[in-house]
Amino acid sequence: MHDKNGTWLLPMAFPEGSPTHPAYGSGHATVAGACVTVLKAVFDESFPLPHVKVPTPDGLALTDAPGSATLTVGGELNKLASNIATGRNHAGVHWRTDAIKAILLGEQVAISILRDQKACYNETFSGFTFTKFDGTKITL
């Protein structure tokens, strides 16, 4: 069914419409994928986040999160990358494939940089170990 303006097009968050530059892959998603990959390589991604809070029903305060779900640094970083990438999709300036493939592109760029950095260390260094976006573990 068309909208109140008589169009079958999806709504756009920006009145100027889609960008005038190519959209594949999304720059925001590429940067998010690269940044999150580096953060997962440097920090302990399995570290559980203590004292997780959620808003109260009235939204005026915070309370302890219910349930036994454990949030980890890696899980939250993956969500952050996904939210950054898909946020542009919701705005109507990118497609889902722009975000998905660009996150993976950013991951590959970060892996290349981390490999180069590892080779520059004078100290004995066993390498970076982290979980890629597809769930596989990698050690560089």
Catalytic residue IDs: 21, 28
Q: Are 32 and 122 in contact (CB under 8 A)?
A: no
Beta bridge partners of 53: 64
Structure tokens that stand for 87 in this block? 């946020």
Contacts of 45 (CB under 8 A, 6+ apart): 72, 73, 74, 75, 77, 130, 131
Q: SS3 for 47?
A: coil
